[in-house]
Structure 1
């Protein structure tokens, strides 16, 4: 009975050994690369230019909001100082005006943040699209089978971020 079981298991062992040899050969030919997307977005010339463009585009509006905020704070401080001496009707009127101004200021700040976020996302998408084209070119030219953009750990020998940055920075 034992010899019969051994004979039945022998083909299984041969098959398993062949599969291991085959997988080992495939693993040697399989090339993996990794791109640190955060680094690309931080170091690529295109990303830096986008950041400068956004800062220029929104700097005036941001300064205007800061000025309005400072004026609102000064008016609020003045009201706090003057409130005890003001007649009731005048105090209530100024308080309502301050509340309305503050509400308007808060709305403008929200709109500003939404506009900045929307434009940042647009610019970021342009950089990512270009980076993905460069990544694909590098992968095809160097015959990579798989390129990862997120990983918990990656061996530095698989990191092709420098190649992607060079491709992005040299492209026009």
Structure 2
């Protein structure tokens, strides 16, 4: 019985609250975070910085992988003419080289991911400051970033990108 009374009071409170609110429209905006992280100058600058920072190591890994593949192909070609001891020795060497290559590749990927997260976090922080400035200056009631559907009339992504670009790619 108490529960029915509480539900009735709650429903009445909601009804009173909705009718008492003046007919005022909410100002809502939507920001496509993926587009900001792809198209804004600071995001592009961060990507270029990462490429410059990691391109040498990536090339070294590619070279090591190519040499390892060539050595494996050579072993496959030479295997029928090799003695058991020599074939076993070369197979062990290849396994050890491959293990070292895999370790270096994992370290590279971990380093790259860590730096990418650092750079993206800095861009996201800047974008959030810009979104907050737009929110305050244009008197928005709500700005969302993750939605299923959004009308182009509430999409403020271009404003955010333009404002970020105006600040420069630093």
Check whether TM > 0.5: yes
Distance 1:73 1:19 in 2: 72
Residues 104-146 of structure 1 show CA distances to partners (whole Å, capped at 9, x for unaligned) of 1011111111111111110000000000000000000000111
Offset of 1:171 from its aligned partner?
1.3
48, 51, 54: which one pairs with 2:50?
54
Where does residue 59 of structure 2 map in the other structure? Answer: 63
Q: Please show how residues 21-60 of structure 1 align to structure 2 within 5 Å.
A: 21-23=19-21, 25-26=23-24, 28=25, 30-60=26-56
Where does residue 85 of structure 2 map in the other structure? Answer: 89
Query: Please, which runs of 5 or more residues in structure 2 have no aligned partner?
Result: 1-10
Distance 1:105 1:20 in 2: 65
SS at 1:154's partner residue? coil
Distance 1:166 1:63 in 2: 35
Instruction: Answer yes or no: is 1:128 the counterpart of 2:124.
Output: yes
Runs of 4+ in 1 over 2 A off after TM superposition: 18-24
SS at 1:25's partner residue? coil
Q: Please show how residues 144-155 of structure 1 align to structure 2 within 5 Å.
A: 144-155=140-151
SS at 2:23's partner residue? helix
Offset of 1:21 from its aligned partner?
4.0
Distance 2:114 2:22 in 1: 48
TM-score (norm 2): 0.87
Offset of 1:24 from its aligned partner?
6.0
TM-score (norm 1): 0.86
72, 78, 81: which one pairs with 2:74?
78
Q: Which has the larger radius of gyration?
A: 1
Query: Please, which runs of 5 or more residues in structure 1 have no aligned partner?
Result: 1-11
Offset of 1:167 from its aligned partner?
1.0
Distance 2:80 2:132 in 1: 70
